[in-house]
Amino acid sequence: MGDKKVSGTLIWYYYICPREVWFMSHQIVPDQHDENIEWGRFLHENAYSRSKKEVEVGKNKLDVVTTKEGKVLVGEVKKTSSYKKSATMQLLYYLYSLKQQGIDNIKGELLFPEEKRKEVVELTSEAEEELERAVKHIFYIMAQEKPPLANKIKYCKKCAYQELCWS
């Protein structure tokens, strides 16, 4: 297995589809020309241009980092709130990871520029427990010889892995 580590991206995929976790952890990347991936890339490059962009902390890439009211504010930019649960858990994982490194004066914000809205996200002990369970399950998925079986879910239609799963 080598030095596999969980990242915020794997947390994001975990809450959408465990099969995607396996693909990503085995360096099988989605179709980079998929219109949703290209649009997401465009949003990351052009939304919130006044804020500091993409800060790397370990295996995590934080979209937007600023300070507000004496706190470090970590923003996660998403195209749509359709994936709100996975986006929330990804952002909580970033906050959790920073807390583990001794940075606890932090706050999170989900940013949906197309919807012109923001949502505050705060790390709770319940969220920490859920993340710890998710990380354990992600390690289990990564250790498998084969990906989990394909399972048709509502996200498949717009997934950049759909050809791999359904052809």
Q: How far is CA 21 from the centre of its chain?
A: 11
Place of tokens 């289990």: 140
Between residues 73 and 38, the one the model is more confident about: 73
pLDDT of 35 reads 58
Return the HEC string of 66-95. Answer: EEECCEEEEEEECCCHHHHHHHHHHHHHHH
Alpha carbon separation from 152 to 94, 142, 166 (Å, rounded): 29, 20, 9
| DSSP designation for 16 | T
Task: Place 38 in a pLDDT band, splitting at 50, 70 and 90.
Answer: low
**Percentage of the residues of the chain whose pLDDT score is greater than 90:** 44
pLDDT of 45 reads 58
**Percentage of the residues of the chain whose pLDDT score is greater than 70:** 83
In the chain, the N- to C-terminal Cα span, in Å, equals: 28
Q: Is the pLDDT of residue 29 over 50?
A: yes
Angstrom distance (rounded) from CA 9 to CA 121: 17
C-beta of residue 66 within 8 angstroms of C-beta of residue 51: yes
Between residues 17 and 104, the one the model is more confident about: 17
Q: Is the pLDDT of residue 115 over 80?
A: yes
Angstrom distance (rounded) from CA 115 to CA 26: 34
Question: For residue range 8-20, what is the model confidence (pLDDT) as tens digits?
Answer: 999 999 999 999 9
Q: Where are the alpha helices (DSSP H) in the chain?
A: 8-14, 18-25, 35-46, 84-100, 125-143, 162-166
Question: For residue range 135-152, what is the model confidence (pLDDT) as tens digits?
Answer: 999 999 999 999 999 989
pLDDT of 3 reads 47
Q: Which residues pair with 72 in a beta bridge?
A: 67, 106
Q: Is the pLDDT of residue 27 over 50?
A: yes
Residue 72's nearest CA partner among 114, 42, 104 is: 104
| DSSP designation for 119 | E
